[in-house]
Structure 1
């Protein structure tokens, strides 16, 4: 159920009976010469809306701009600073709580958002508002991703290329796949380019990849993209069902260990 397509009376029927929502989040940032800047938020919204349709839960509009300053050297990349991103997502999520939502899944497709969504979830649980957790699509199916690609790549690689080939094939510049591979960093085992004596020596993607992407994009196919999409959607559906079955009290912050502070005063 996509919230923006509904009327307020229809949503009243939902919140009277249900209390879970999915919130898709991505980014608007460079994904090499072959993929659109919309890649992450297209993936997040497609997965969130498909899982919401299969489980009949609420799906909010997508947060399209995320924490992406590490891609800023490439034309078109947009970002918000981390504190503002956290505050915005927290505020948006709290208005869901006002309407009766007490558990949220952040359907995330941008690695730069992950730690900040975890922090927002902690804030919301610590004050008893709701239980909100971050879910990253490729982390839900790591074995499959490793199985289907020899050189995966964490950004703009074959997994994201295959997903967009499935979700929005008209946006993939298939004539640039070899350019993406040859101008980027294919083998991530070449760690000397970004690690020195156990320290990460880089801050921005361009320091490791001239065209901003990693892995071998020529491995991607629409069929593989469909396989990844279905597997990730299945995992998200299972997560939603698991979360729906939990008692709210069991999701909240556990009690301090005994003896309780001040109990002997």
Structure 2
């Protein structure tokens, strides 16, 4: 059920029965010479809308621009500063609570958003406004992703390439797959990402000249469909679990007794 396609009476009927919403988030940033800048938010929206439709929950419009400061050396990358991103997502979420939503799943497809979505979720929980959790699609199916891709790659690699081959094949520059592999870094460890235990990089370009990692030639539409279906099923199960939970059980536990045994 896509929020923007509904009328207000239809949405009133929804919140009379349900209080779960799915919010897709991604980025608009470089994904190498073979994938569009829309990669992350296309994946997030496709997964969110599919899972919401299958399970009968509400899906909001997509937040297309995230925290992408680590990709700014590449043309076209768009980014917002972390405090503004957190405040926007929190305001967006509180708007949902105003209309009767108190459980939110942030369907996230961009690593740069993760810590900030967790922080927003904590703020909402502390106020007992909503229980909001960040869900990252590839983290829901790590074994499958590892099994079907020999050189996965954390960014612009075969998993994202395969997903876009499945979701929006017309946007994949298939003639650039070898160039993406050969101009990037197949194995992140080959870039010596740490020195004496310290990370020695801040931006993608510090490790990869074309901004991507992994072997993009290992991607196929069939693999994309397989991981899309597996991740969607995980998201459906998460939504059902959240819907079944008592709101009070999702809130912060009480403080431990500061004076156990005292008579007050």
TM range (shorter): over 0.9
CA distance, structure 2, for counterparts of residue 96 and residue 179 of structure 1: 44
Matched, 1:63 2:63: yes
Which residue of the partner structure matches residue 164 of structure 1? 164
Distance 1:13 1:63, change over 3 A: same
1:155-180 Cα distance to aligned partner (Å, 9 max, x none): 00000000000000000000000000
How many angstroms does 1:188 deviate by? 2.0
Q: Contact 2:128 / 2:251 at 8 angstroms: preserved in 1?
A: yes
Matched, 1:238 2:234: no
Which residue of the partner structure matches residue 137 of structure 2? 137
Which residue of the partner structure matches residue 95 of structure 2? 95
How many angstroms does 1:264 deviate by? 5.9
Structure 2 residue matching 1:240: 3-state secondary structure: helix
Distance 1:264 1:30, change over 3 A: farther
How many angstroms does 1:259 deviate by? 3.9
Trace 1:222-233 onto structure 2 (pairs within 5 A): 222-233=221-232
How many angstroms does 1:190 deviate by? 1.7
Unpaired stretches in structure 1, ≥5 consecutive residues: none
CA distance, structure 2, for counterparts of residue 160 and residue 202 of structure 1: 22
Structure 2 residue matching 1:11: 3-state secondary structure: helix
CA distance, structure 2, for counterparts of residue 10 and residue 235 of structure 1: 27
Which residue of the partner structure matches residue 207 of structure 2? 208
1:201-222 Cα distance to aligned partner (Å, 9 max, x none): 1111001000000000000000
Structure 2 residue matching 1:189: 3-state secondary structure: helix
How many angstroms does 1:260 deviate by? 6.5
Cα RMSD after superposing both structures: 1.2
CA distance, structure 2, for counterparts of residue 102 and residue 259 of structure 1: 30
1:169-197 Cα distance to aligned partner (Å, 9 max, x none): 000000000000000000123252x2100
Moved over 3 A (4+): none
Q: Contact 2:185 / 2:191 at 8 angstroms: preserved in 1?
A: no
Which residue of the partner structure matches residue 35 of structure 2? 35
Q: Contact 2:66 / 2:80 at 8 angstroms: preserved in 1?
A: yes
Q: Contact 2:22 / 2:105 at 8 angstroms: preserved in 1?
A: yes
CA distance, structure 1, for counterparts of residue 98 and residue 263 of structure 2: 38
Unpaired stretches in structure 2, ≥5 consecutive residues: none
Trace 1:1-265 onto structure 2 (pairs within 5 A): 1-190=1-190, 192=192, 194-259=193-258
CA distance, structure 1, for counterparts of residue 19 and residue 27 of structure 2: 27
